Amino acid sequence: MIELKGLGKTYSQGVHPVVALENVTLSIGPGEFVAVMGPSGSGKSTLMNLLGCLDTATSGSYILDGVDVTRLGDGELAAVRNKKIGFVFQAFNLLPRMTALRNVELPMLYAGVTPGERRERALKALEVVGLAARVHHRPSQLSGGQVQRVAIARAMVNQPVILLADEPTGNLDSRSGGEIMSIFQELNRKGATIVLVTHEREIALHASRILHFRDGRLTDDEKNQAPHQAALISVPGPQPDSREVASP
Amino acid sequence: MNMLESIRVALEGIAANKLRSFLTTLGIVIGIAAVIAVVAVGQAGRALLMSEMEKVGTNIFAVMVNWRSGESFTGREFALQDAEIIKSRVPEVSHLSPLSSTVADVRGTRKNRSAQVFGASGDLVHIRKFNLKSGHFFSAEDDQGRRRVAVLDQELAEDLFGRADPVGQKLVIKNTPFLVVGVIAKGDSVLGFGESPKIYIPVQVWQYIFSPYVSYLEGSAASREQVDTALSQTIKVLERRHQAAGRYNGVSMEQQMQTANKVTGVMTLVISAIAGISLLVGGIGVMNIMLVSVTERTREIGIRMALGARRRDILVQFLIEAVVLCLLGGIIGMSLGIGGALLIAKLAKWPPLVSWWTVLVAFAFSAAIGVFFGILPANKAARLNPIEALRRD
């Protein structure tokens, strides 16, 4: 599914080039739930950007779903992001003026899906994350946990080959965070491949494999035999206590 | 991305910042309104001028002395017989009259005043298409017989004789008594042709009373198409008869109309161009606000890129926003411009004239402004680095 060989990224800002990622070689198979851990500056964000095709590597190769994406141009990378990758961000990154439904429809817009099918698939995706009753709410009318669930629906709606989550619980209280983790585990059980970046071991332990990064290098590839099971609370279904204060 | 969706997003953005959007488009609104009003008024004015000139007659022409030759006026430039001879030799000329004019004191039964006194032949009534309110115009026989008969216009008649019909009354011009034989009805000209008080008397009588010369010839051709030939042939005959090449100069209504057409066209163009400067300023305003919008929505751009928007999608989206903004301004400006033009037409009692192509051009032009001034901000948006854009607040 993901095949990295000697992947590296060097920023040539100013006089001194900065090595953000160096010689990363690893492979992630379909259906894996991988956590990426490391302190800030360890290169995990750079890895995330490279995996997400938001950035291009300066050395090595990255084969995603059989395609060497290091050789692709801007337009093709956009298509890869659209069809093969789903993003979940720490800051949620929903468009504030749009309803949950339209936010989830967004990736399909760029995929050229017809309006009728867009709506149908978006509704289904929102139902999967337990927000069928909130499709016409704007992000400001939803709690932080609900907003992140909309973001997960948006990430999954184009049926990507990989789901990339960058500190998805970082802006949430532990209860909402637990909900999000349980959704990820549920998606993973149904076959989704997930790469999750976090600096919290608690969160990382929900994954079955933990990659440790330090100073731009992959330092450890840890197997987690018994992943923490997030309590599956009331997902899907209506939320009895749905209004929490969304963290900024 | 889908065009309709882009338009929807653009409209939502505009609705979210109503005041800002309105102020931004104000330049476009004013520019389009001004251009439409100017063009409409210009066209109405031109159409009015043309219809007035057509009323006077599109087939008429005049021949006068070419003063550029530097010679002084001798009074022998035209002979009394010229008109009849030219008529017999040039088939294109259907009517031709010698004309002399001066200002003289005129006395009627009620009062006396000064008026312009014309000497003409009986042909003048056909050339000018005079509409007689009462009586008749004098004839060739009146002229040959040097009969002291006069035809005056309605306004002067009312001035000199009051409300009573002056036909059959006596009129004194420069101490010579005349018999009033006709009154010319007031024209419905808006532009004021033929407004000053005028009296027409047979040219031979005029020469007898005032001085023995003819100022110019006025004639009409059989048709509008034959005016040019009639005019040039008339001049040719005159030059031969008086052995004076280059001494005569002709002007036809056709030429005058073309000139007037050109002048009003150029004037409209110049004023439109000045009004168009407002469009330029408006366009810069749109560009400015679009640049602000791109900065404000950097994060949105990053999100869209992460979700698979190509740079082209972002470019098109912001271009559409600029175009929608300009088109809204254009539509408001169009309504204001058309309203203004109709109001002016109503106040000036002109026929209302807003042509569909003006509206079409204004519409296309505001869209073009959107594209032209939107391309820079849209390009800026499309060139953003998605990672940096996502990091921005």
Judged by CB atoms closer than 8 Å, whether chains meet at A83 and B2 is answered as no
CA–CA separation, B63 vs B99, rounded Å?
10
Judged by CB atoms closer than 8 Å, whether chains meet at A75 and B308 is answered as no
Judged by CB atoms closer than 8 Å, whether chains meet at A79 and B310 is answered as yes
Number of domains composing chain A: 1
Reported as type and span, the H/E element at residue B279 is helix B253-296
Confirm whether A17 is domain-assigned: no
Using CA atoms, how far residue A220 sits from A25, B304, B336, in Å, is 12, 34, 71
Q: Can you give the pLDDT at residue B16?
A: 86
**B-chain residue closest to A107, CA distance:** B307
Residue A240 clears pLDDT 60, i.e. is over it: no
Helices (H), B162-248: 203-209, 227-242
> What's the CA angle centered on B281, arms B278 and B284, to 5 degrees?
150
Q: Tens of pLDDT along A105-131? A: 999 999 989 999 999 999 999 999 999
Q: Note whether B259 and B242 are within 8 A (CB).
A: no
Q: Which of residues 321-340 of B touch A (CB under 8 A)?
A: none
The predicted model scores a pTM of: 0.75
Using CA atoms, how far residue B90 sits from B219, B221, B231, B263, in Å, is 12, 10, 10, 32
Instruction: Out of A79, A94, A95, name the one closest to residue B308 (CB).
Output: A79
Q: Can you give the pLDDT at residue A110?
A: 92
pLDDT truncated to tens, each residue of chain B (393 aa)? 578 888 888 888 888 889 999 999 998 999 999 888 888 888 888 888 888 888 878 889 999 888 765 666 676 788 888 999 999 999 999 999 999 999 999 998 888 888 999 999 999 999 988 888 899 999 989 988 999 999 999 888 988 998 888 999 999 998 899 999 999 988 765 554 556 788 999 999 999 999 888 889 999 998 888 999 999 999 999 999 988 888 888 999 888 888 888 988 898 889 888 888 888 889 999 999 999 999 999 999 999 999 999 999 999 999 999 999 999 999 999 999 999 888 888 888 777 777 788 888 888 989 999 999 999 999 999 999 999 999 887
CATH number of the domain bearing residue A215: 3.40.50.300
Q: Tens of pLDDT along A128-187? A: 999 999 999 999 999 999 999 999 999 999 999 999 999 999 999 989 999 999 999 999
Q: Tens of pLDDT along A38-50? A: 998 899 989 999 9
Supply the ipTM of this predicted assembly. Answer: 0.91
Q: Can you give the pLDDT at residue A242?
A: 44
Q: Can you give the pLDDT at residue B58?
A: 85
Chain B within 8 Å of A87 (Cβ-Cβ)? Answer: yes
Q: Can you give the pLDDT at residue B325?
A: 92
A80 Cβ contact list (under 8 Å, min separation 6): A53, A64, A67, A69, A72
Backbone angles phi and psi of B107, in degrees to 5: -120, 130
Confirm whether A228 is domain-assigned: no
Instruction: Out of A55, A82, A97, name the one closest to residue B307 (CB).
Output: A82
Instruction: Out of A74, A82, A93, name the one closest to residue B308 (CB).
Output: A82
Q: Go through chain A and tell me how many residues it has.
A: 248
Residue B30 CA to its chain's centroid (Å):
24
| Domain chopping of chain B, boundaries | 3-53+258-391, 72-246
Tokens of A80: 């890869």
CA–CA separation, B358 vs B96, rounded Å?
43
Q: Can you give the pLDDT at residue B181?
A: 95
Confirm whether A90 is domain-assigned: yes
Q: Which residue has the higher pLDDT, B71 or A71?
A: A71
Confirm whether A89 is domain-assigned: yes
Confirm whether A7 is domain-assigned: no
Q: Can you give the pLDDT at residue A247?
A: 46
**What percentage of chain A exceeds 90 in pLDDT?**
81
Edge-to-edge order in the sheet of strand A59-64: A18-28, A2-11, A59-64, A67-68
Residue B156 half-sphere exposure, CB side, CA atoms within 13 Å?
27
Contacts of B312 in chain A (CB under 8 A): 75
Mean per-residue pLDDT over chain A, rounded:
90
Nearest CA to A104 among B299, A192, A88? A88
Task: Tell me whether residue A188 is exposed, middle or buried, using C-beta atoms within 10 angstroms of its C-beta: 0 to 12, 13 to 18, 19 or more.
Answer: buried
